[in-house]
Amino acid sequence: MLNEIIKDGEGLKMFKDRVYISPRYYLEDYLALNLSLTSDEQTWQRAINIFSDRIEGRFLLLIQEYSDNITANYRYIDYSFSTMALCSLLIETLHQFYNGLDVTVFRGHKEAFVQFLTRSNYFGSYFTRRTASFFYSDIRNGILHQAQTKRNTQLTFEQENMIIEIENGISLDVIKFKDELLNEYQEYLKKLNNDSNHELRENFIKKMDYITTRI
């Protein structure tokens, strides 16, 4: 289903004087909704479709493609670094949508990741604050800033548990991590579709307003 939704999106931000907010939608498509907490459910569904097209077109298609290549052919193990770079970007993006933030609080990146991984229904049973901190420093920071993991932290797949603490680091199963992040994203969509989740919807509007007014 994921590939069917996004496989033919171009993912351009601007093309022939049109600003794209996602692969299939223009900026004006979202602005025309004039989204608010009192908008009808048809309007909310269109807003959620625009959001999912944006997230799936810019993150999840590549994450899935890379991880498929990892499992299909062991020689593509190096795709694990690209996969985790994209996963880290998606985690921070979801954190900002959950909380209605323009950017992650200054010097609060580590705590944002720790909270995300330890409080999530899908990661909380695997991560402690200690191992979540290792993920942030050794994987997120290492890959995004030095294009490598730090200390003795390793990326792998087909290990028994998602995360294993080892000497001077952690061993992380990339495929298991990706699968749970996809579950996290799908749960967020489900919650957004529930009109009783007022705070979540309000924060969604705030984040989308930051995105659209910046463009």
The domain locations on the chain are 2-214
CA angle 126, 131, 137 (to 5 degrees): 135
> CA 171 → CA 10, 164, 190, distances in Å?
35, 5, 31
For the chain, residues with pLDDT lower than 70 are 1-17, 73-77, 106, 214-215
- H or E stretch at 18: strand 18-19
Q: What pLDDT does 75 receive?
A: 55
- Could you give the angle at the alpha carbon of 1 between the alpha carbons of 88 and 115, nearest 5°? 25
Residue 157: the pLDDT is: 86
Question: What does pLDDT average to over the chain?
Answer: 88
Q: Which 3 state secondary structure label does DSSP give 78? A: coil
pLDDT value of position 66: 80
Sort 107 into a burial class: Cβ within 10 Å, 0-12 / 13-18 / 19+.
exposed
Q: List pLDDT tens digits, range 103-116.
A: 887 677 899 999 99
Q: What integer pLDDT is reported at residue 158 of this predicted model?
A: 86
